[in-house]
A and B are shown apart, each in its own frame.
Chain A
Amino acid sequence: MTAPDPTQDWPSPLAEISRLKIDPERVEQDMARLVLGLMEFLRKLMELQAVRRMDAGSLTPEEEERLGLTLMRAEEALHRLAAQFGLQPGDLSLDLGPLGRSV
C-alpha cells in the first residue's frame, strides 16, 4: 500500500462557510484566478464539444486542424496568463461549493 498526498484537496462545501474568497492583500491574483477559471471552464466545454464531434466523425480534416489549433493556442494563452499572476493550471479549477469544481 502507498500513501496518497496527505493534503489532498477533498471537496468540502462546508468550508465555504468560513472561507474568504478574495484576500485584500492579493486582490489581483484572486481576481485573475476567478476570471481565468471561468475562461478555462468555457474552454473545457468547447474542448468537450470538439471531442464529441471527433468521436462522431462529423469534422472535416480542415475543421479538425482549425478547431484543434484554436483550442491548443487558447490553452497555451490561458496558462501563460495564469503564470503571469503566479497561478498554476490546477489553480484555475474553481471550488463552487455544493456544485463541485468548475473543471
Chain B
Amino acid sequence: MIAVGLCRAEEAGEFDHVQTGPLALLWQPDGTDTDRLDRCLAAQEQLGAFLPFSPRQAPKLAAACDWIRPRIAALSAALDDLAGQGEMLVTLQPDTTGSGPPSSSGRDWLRERTLQHARLRAMQDCLRDLLPGAHLLPTSPGAPVEATVLLPPDLMHSHARTLHAACPEGVDCRVSGPWPAFGYAAALTARLTEPT
C-alpha cells in the first residue's frame, strides 16, 4: 500500500485511510504515478485541506506512518495553512530563438554558458518580483524557471492574467493550477526531515 497524502481525520470520509491522532493518512494499492496523481487531484478537490506526497516518489504506508507520528503538530499546522488553497505553478522560459548554432570553440561555449547563467538569474529575479513569497523550484541554466504559490482556486485566473500582463517581453509565461500543494509539501517534508 502506498501513501498519497494527509488530511484531517474528520474529513477523510470515503477515502481509504489510516488515522494517526488528528490526521488521516490516505493510501491506495500499488499503482502507477498517474493513479496516484488522480487520487491526489480527487483529494484536493473534495477535501478542505490536503497535503500530498509526490506521486512519483510516494512512500510506503508503514514508512509514512512512522514518519508522521513524531511530526503531528507541524503537519496539523501545515493543513491549517493549506485550508481552502490550491497551488499555482508558474513557468518562465526565455525566448532563445535567436541563439546561434552549437559552439565549436571553447571560448564561444563558455560565453554561451555564462549567458545562460545570467538568463537564469534574471528569470529567478523576475519571478521573485512577480510573485513575492513564491517557492522557486530547483532548475539549471537553459531550463525553464518554475515557482509555486498557494492561492484560493477562485483567484487563480485573475492572478494568471496579472502575471501574463506583467511578464517582460521575450519571456514565455505559462501558468497552471489549482494543483495539490506538491511544491509546498516538498519544501515542508524537506524541512521536517532535516538531519540533526
Contact = CB atoms under 8 A, between A and B. Distances in A.
Query: Which secondary structure characterizes the binding site on chain B?
Result: helix
Interface string B102-129: 0101111111011001100000000000
Contacts of A14: 53, 57, 59, 63-64, 67, 189, 193
B177 interface: yes
B162 to A, nearest CB: 14
Interface residues of B, number: 48
B110 A10 contact: no
A55 B113 CA distance: 11
Given A14-B64, A69-B105, A98-B194, A54 B114 contact: yes
A10 B186 contact: yes
29 contacts: A2-B175, A4-B91, A7-B55, A8-B182, A10-B57, A10-B183, A12-B57, A12-B59, A12-B186, A13-B189, A13-B193, A14-B64, A14-B189, A14-B193, A15-B57, A15-B59, A47-B113, A54-B114, A61-B107, A68-B106, A68-B107, A68-B109, A71-B106, A71-B109, A72-B106, A72-B110, A97-B193, A100-B138, A101-B138
